Amino acid sequence: MRHIPEFNWAAGVHYGTIKSYAVFDSTIGYNFNPTYCVLLNVNNLTNHVHNEIIGGPELRRHVTLKLTASF
């Protein structure tokens, strides 16, 4: 869980107050063998719409899947 309290933010012509928000993240990984691994990362499990910077996009759930190989 990440909790960000309300704070003032400014960069160039963009300024204002970022409202407080909390998001839940999750990561799970699995090693197939010593060579291959898969990692699933989900940021903002509850899909809470929020802004992290003024003038930036509204953020929602973000899912990444990563496959790695070690030789």
Contact between 42 and 61 under an 8 Å Cβ cutoff? The reply is yes
Which whole number is the average pLDDT over 32-48? 96
Instruction: Give the DSSP letter of residue 44.
Output: -
pLDDT at 66: 98
Give the predicted TM-score (pTM) of the model.
0.76
Residue 60: phi and psi, rounded to 5, are -130, -160
Contact between 56 and 18 under an 8 Å Cβ cutoff? The reply is no
